[in-house]
Amino acid sequence: MLNELMSRYPALNEIKEEIVNATDAIISCYENGGKVLLCGNGGSCADCEHIVGELMKGFLKLRPISEKKKAEMKASSPLIDDEILSKLQCGLPAISLPSMTALNSAFCNDVDPELIYAQPLMALGNKGDILIAISTSGNSKNVFGAVKVAKALGVTVIGLTGNTGGKLKENADICICAPEKETFKIQELHLPIYHYICAEVEAHFFKE
Contacts of 50 (CB under 8 A, 6+ apart): 191, 194
Confidence class of residue 67 from pLDDT cuts 50, 70 and 90?
very high
Establish if 146 belongs to a structural domain.
Answer: yes
pTM exceeds 0.85 for this model: yes
Instruction: Give CA 152 to chain center in angstroms.
Output: 19
By DSSP bridging, strand 36-39 and strand 94-96 are parallel
For every residue of 31-58, DSSP letters joined together read HTT--EEEE-STHHHHHHHHHHHHHHS-
Establish if 96 belongs to a structural domain.
Answer: yes
Establish if 154 belongs to a structural domain.
Answer: yes
> pLDDT for 147-158, tens place per residue?
999 999 999 999
Compute the average pLDDT of residues 129-153. Answer: 98
Give the domain CATH number at 128: 3.40.50.10490
Establish if 20 belongs to a structural domain.
Answer: yes
Compute the average pLDDT of residues 105-113. Answer: 97
Give the length of the chain.
208
Establish if 77 belongs to a structural domain.
Answer: no
Q: Is the pLDDT of residue 208 over 80?
A: no
Establish if 125 belongs to a structural domain.
Answer: yes
Helices (H) and strands (E) in the chain, counts: 10, 5
Sequence-separated contacts (24+) of 124-128 with Cβ below 8 Å: 124/35, 124/37, 124/95, 125/37, 125/149, 125/150, 125/153, 125/155, 126/34, 126/35, 126/153, 126/154, 126/155, 127/153, 127/154, 127/155, 128/29, 128/32, 128/33, 128/34, 128/154, 128/155, 128/156
Confidence (pLDDT) at 60: 97
Establish if 199 belongs to a structural domain.
Answer: yes
Confidence (pLDDT) at 57: 97
174: DSSP letter:
E
* Count of structural domains within the chain: 1
> pLDDT for 70-90, tens place per residue?
999 999 999 999 999 999 999
Domain region containing 56: 2-61+91-205
What are the DSSP E strand ranges found in the chain?
Answer: 36-39, 94-96, 130-134, 156-161, 174-177
Cβ pair 173, 29 in contact under 8 A: no
Instruction: Give CA 43 to chain center in angstroms.
Output: 14
Establish if 102 belongs to a structural domain.
Answer: yes
Compute the average pLDDT of residues 55-65. Answer: 96
3-state secondary structure at position 16: helix
